[in-house]
Structure 1
């Protein structure tokens, strides 16, 4: 009865758990914005996912855009690489070649312009080297200015050259005084003076002299030169926008939105709107719309900002553009509202409302969601009016789960008889139903439900996700053997490996080692069995089980399976510390099979574990398996060595030779070197006991090399 209660608590906690509110989950691994970083959250819409994962999955499905998800191996029964978490190997992937495909063309155009203007080529700066207001002082803006000069027939070749040279100077950091001096010979009344005014305005802008920039650009907005008029209008908006944030840094250099100059931000908003009204398809229209999103963020105009993003998401033309917008939304302009949770829906922005309210369902330090039932009820009309009530329903189901109301979920959701291939909301709803069955410990119905859902699903990611839950249900219900039945629906080697390592019986391990479906599973089973034979003192069994290796035609090797390398058992004894001689592991175990208290053999078994670190590795394939981890958890995991117990046994043995006892004393003390923490397995031994061992070694065996070598106890 105690076992069932513990399991139910662990299932409930794991299914309802969520990350701390507003936390980003990518800081410990690859950044979400990296092109090689794939989606690492669950293939369902849940509060615990990174909100960017949720948003990209939801939006991409509506547009039929491909998702940046992990690839599925050709044979899932032989791979442990599919799991819903960050993969270390993603850091080794290269960015797609398309990211820089158009760069040579841009550089070629600039080179042609420089040659036409008789200007010396310059070394262009790489993207990302410029920040804040300097971002527009780029090779691209150079090219735009040169194109305007070349298109203006009123300019002479000499004037174009002089203006182009001055623009190159600005690119290198020239001041307005230096630009004015370099262009002092331009004739009065020449249109070239208008370009000079623009350059001095730009110099003021990059110097942070926003008043000077404003005067220069204002004088050009009605220019009869189209490029100057449009660019000046755009730069007026950027000038006042930068002015609004010039004092926004907090005490420690962090951005503080509450220090934004609101009047300046409001002025920037009017300038952006004026630009877009005059040039709705202009050169800078896309940038101006992006600036409007920034301005609304500065003004903390959350409903308006949500509406702008909702509109822009719908306009995304491809998967790459959509991902860029999601990055901007969550990381750059941060709809995290300065750390304040969203608790109400935004008019005309049901998708963003859903994502933010889902974020507010993450459990806080009190194990409660920020979003309340009253908040959710108040948001319902906004979803109804936009025809997105299914999103609100999903929020309600997640709120019930977060607050432990599993009965409400089971009453509201019906197991689907058939499901569209791609409908993440419907799939998420079904998963919540299955989870509710598990929390209520309705194991047979939960097993049947996951089996049916697995058969209906045609999405590889979803299939793997459901397999983990099916495996967990079978373990929780005490039916682990069903996972390895010939017709088992749990085919993922990762999940089968987890169960074999953590909870399978020795009999099941023997069966899988000899009859498993492939060499990978047989290797995992045999390695686990042999480690457990040693750590559980089944020495005669170990000698027999070693023979099962003949059933594995080709034991798996390599990085992906380095945790189950069978060659570790070929230990020759040569790796022991100089001065203490051991025979091979096979011979050591033969001795122990005849006398499990043999002091020398026990020390040598300890040496095997010390030098090889052989154990049942429960860490390597533990990430991203969901509730299966709760199902297989044991307070005292199988297959973990306890060298300290061997040494203590030898120390206490009246029959142990002086050589063996002195070495056992030495090794028992060294278990705590140099950190003071036990690295040999087993319970901690207090410092007084270690001091006693040290004294015993020094007084009873003063001539031993180990007494002479040991200087401290820890």
Structure 2
């Protein structure tokens, strides 16, 4: 049986389900716009060597510099755009969408090549069975190779064997095809599936092989071992080589059969060491006899698996180093996944000598540790690694600088360890060096020096995602150095829509927002987002006259297409500019309100009229604006996390209701409605859905009693049965 696709994936037999313990359990990812991160975040990867990157990303960057991998520079996927991503940062899934199966199942009914072989053997088309069990999921089941690809190989060898009688050739072919229907059989089933009337020498060897295959797939490894050993010296070259390979594979499966639980998680203490050693010897013997054999790449991959099952991390790391150094074995995503699952999750830096792997492990050790949490690496041990980086001294210098920045928090030392000149070519290591240099300058409050560096890097940033990261670095620099206007200047290097929109909706003041609305050369989405933000904050932060004046900036017929990610919505939800033409009316509650412009006019009065207070609340309630994205400020270390330049406190519906409730001169209907709505702010959870106030239950109970007694005749008192 030839195991197609095994060269890079053989180690993954039994590896599915072994998830990176450092990864988030939540499948949903959202962007966090922060470049200076020392905690793992698989949802926000960056194209420079960072402790915050997943180990697979850092390994991919290093391999990209070696010409053995590349980063995705394709357009932004639509599903990521809907949740607010730009190209940088990016979720890990963009690089590693899935872990391919070790032995991909193929639908027999769709295999035209198999049908052609069946016809050449003189068998009817219905000799190919209907699709049996699926082995495309789970923990790398050995049954995955029981597919049409391996059946084709067997049938092809039958046709090439001249001394097989035609009847035996057909019987053997029928037997192999019958095995496609499952992967577990008892003796009675096999007696009806496998041929029993084979007399030729060649036929007996092929029949013995089928018995070995059936035993192997059924998990009867002792029987399979006996069958394959009997074929080691077969006169049929294909059977001889395949049997020798299957000796190793059979013993490997015997060794690991009790090492995985029902969910596919390994317990290496339960590996049976005797057959594992036998498997190692069998693969060594196979590779010695067939160094360029049809299964050579697979056997080497399975040797790596043996080292993993033996917990022999030094030999395993050495194998990966050999693959990285090989010009013929360009690592791809599946190999990086394998390295991460089998080595990086458990290896100690002392077990590794390859500079690529060691650098990744070192960066993992620079992640945030609690004060009482020990690291497996300290600065002295990092210094002692220098000889291991003799071929990559700049990489070692970078690791020392990263330690100084992330662990020692010493920006001056970081700068001393980094190149002071920008190279002509920015590979990912050089880009990482200059990125860290910019961070250290900013940590020392040299914002202008960092800006100068980023601008110097821009024309040299040619590799995928480098420019996008520099735009984010510049935007952060301008925000934190109180020069936000530079992001939106006519010649600004910051063009990433998501970055600009974050700063517009969270930081920009009214003057800048008006400038963006009037700017002639910006995209319509950004202009509409700036106008929406301006009108919303005018109204909800108490700038009522400005709101009335800024309504003139609305087009005569504003678009009713919802703005989505540009104003902070996720998954396509949104709100249109027509929101600010709200006509008021009674709505389902029966409380009558004027249009929103008239509400704003009334809110300028002192004291503010009870109806206007209630109706601003109605505007928020009826349009679902409680907890609106524009009201949520990013974390202080994220882009958009500094103080907003749009002054004024956020209006809360409950603040308005409290004013009306406390107004002895308010009309009965206005006060009753404010009580009704204030009580409902806590329905049904008991938590405030109208603001941040914490009103105790006894006060809410008093509101309820007042509404049900003093205003019992109102429809709101009649409809309300509970308080929360």
TM range (shorter): 0.7 to 0.9
Hey, what does 1:16 align to over in structure 2? none
CA distance in 1, matches of 2:661, 2:212: 85
Q: Does 1:167 align with 2:173?
A: no
Worse-matched range after superposition: 114-123 or 236-245: 114-123
Worse-matched range after superposition: 455-464 or 180-189: 180-189
Q: Return the structure number with greater helix share.
A: 1
- 1:353-402, CA deviations, whole angstroms, 9 ceiling, x for partnerless residues? 22222222222344875431122123221121xx1222222221221122
Return 5+ residue gaps in structure 1 as ranges. 1-19, 32-37, 74-78
- 1:597-634, CA deviations, whole angstroms, 9 ceiling, x for partnerless residues? 111111111011112134795579999x9954374367
1:417 shift after superposition: 3.6
CA distance in 2, matches of 1:619, 1:605: 17
Cα 1:72–1:705 shift into 2, 3 Å: closer
CA distance in 1, matches of 2:400, 2:565: 41
CA distance in 2, matches of 1:90, 1:566: 33
- 1:423-470, CA deviations, whole angstroms, 9 ceiling, x for partnerless residues? 000110111111112222222322322232334433462222122222
CA distance in 1, matches of 2:92, 2:242: 46
Return 5+ residue gaps in structure 2 as ranges. 1-18, 31-41, 78-82, 567-572
CA distance in 2, matches of 1:658, 1:176: 88
Q: Is the 8 A contact 1:186 1:192 kept in 2?
A: no
Cα 1:637–1:612 shift into 2, 3 Å: farther
- 1:161-183, CA deviations, whole angstroms, 9 ceiling, x for partnerless residues? 11112222333344455445666
Task: Give the structure-2-normalised TM-score.
Answer: 0.84
Hey, what does 1:361 align to over in structure 2? 366
Aligned with residue 531 of structure 1, among 533, 536, 550:
536
5 Å-filtered alignment, 1:17-36, equals 23-24=22-23, 28-29=27-28
CA distance in 1, matches of 2:383, 2:93: 44
Aligned with residue 514 of structure 2, among 495, 510, 513:
510
- 1:510-530, CA deviations, whole angstroms, 9 ceiling, x for partnerless residues? 222223642333222221111
Q: Does 1:115 align with 2:125?
A: no
1:695 shift after superposition: 1.7
CA distance in 2, matches of 1:369, 1:555: 55
CA distance in 2, matches of 1:190, 1:460: 60
Q: Does 1:598 align with 2:609?
A: yes
Hey, what does 1:646 align to over in structure 2? 656
Aligned with residue 337 of structure 2, among 323, 327, 335:
327
Hey, what does 2:696 align to over in structure 1? 686
How many correspondences in the alignment? 671
- 1:5-54, CA deviations, whole angstroms, 9 ceiling, x for partnerless residues? xxxxxxxxxxxxxxx995135852489xxxxxx99611111111122122
Q: Is the 8 A contact 1:51 1:359 kept in 2?
A: yes
CA distance in 1, matches of 2:631, 2:297: 46
CA distance in 2, matches of 1:89, 1:216: 44
Q: Does 1:393 align with 2:397?
A: yes
Cα 1:356–1:235 shift into 2, 3 Å: same
CA distance in 2, matches of 1:648, 1:161: 89
CA distance in 2, matches of 1:263, 1:148: 33
Q: Is the 8 A contact 2:135 2:143 kept in 1?
A: no
Hey, what does 2:145 align to over in structure 1? 136
Aligned with residue 550 of structure 2, among 545, 551, 562:
545
What's the Cα RMSD here? 3.8
CA distance in 2, matches of 1:636, 1:672: 29
Q: Secondary structure at the match of 1:238?
A: helix
Aligned with residue 52 of structure 2, among 48, 51, 64:
48
Q: Secondary structure at the match of 2:281?
A: helix
1:489 shift after superposition: 3.0
Hey, what does 2:433 align to over in structure 1? 429
Aligned with residue 288 of structure 1, among 281, 285, 299:
299
CA distance in 2, matches of 1:506, 1:51: 43
- 1:206-262, CA deviations, whole angstroms, 9 ceiling, x for partnerless residues? 222211111111111111111111111111101110111122135986311222122
Task: Give the structure-1-normalised TM-score.
Answer: 0.85
1:697 shift after superposition: 1.1
Hey, what does 1:6 align to over in structure 2? none
Q: Is the 8 A contact 1:413 1:433 kept in 2?
A: yes
Q: Is the 8 A contact 1:650 1:660 kept in 2?
A: yes
Q: Secondary structure at the match of 2:554?
A: helix
Hey, what does 1:374 align to over in structure 2? 380
CA distance in 2, matches of 1:238, 1:231: 10
Hey, what does 1:8 align to over in structure 2? none
Hey, what does 2:623 align to over in structure 1? 612
Hey, what does 2:582 align to over in structure 1? 571
Q: Secondary structure at the match of 1:632?
A: coil
CA distance in 2, matches of 1:454, 1:183: 68
Aligned with residue 214 of structure 2, among 193, 196, 203:
203
1:159 shift after superposition: 0.3
- 1:165-208, CA deviations, whole angstroms, 9 ceiling, x for partnerless residues? 22223333444554456666535453211112111112221222
Cα 1:257–1:345 shift into 2, 3 Å: closer
Hey, what does 2:16 align to over in structure 1? none
Worse-matched range after superposition: 124-133 or 688-697: 124-133
Q: Is the 8 A contact 2:259 2:268 kept in 1?
A: yes
Cα 1:246–1:66 shift into 2, 3 Å: closer
Q: Is the 8 A contact 1:502 1:638 kept in 2?
A: no
Q: Does 1:350 align with 2:355?
A: yes
CA distance in 1, matches of 2:609, 2:316: 75
1:564 shift after superposition: 6.1
Q: Is the 8 A contact 1:474 1:480 kept in 2?
A: yes
Worse-matched range after superposition: 254-263 or 223-232: 254-263
Q: Does 1:309 align with 2:309?
A: no
CA distance in 1, matches of 2:531, 2:212: 75
Q: Secondary structure at the match of 1:525?
A: helix
CA distance in 2, matches of 1:567, 1:514: 19
Worse-matched range after superposition: 625-634 or 362-371: 625-634
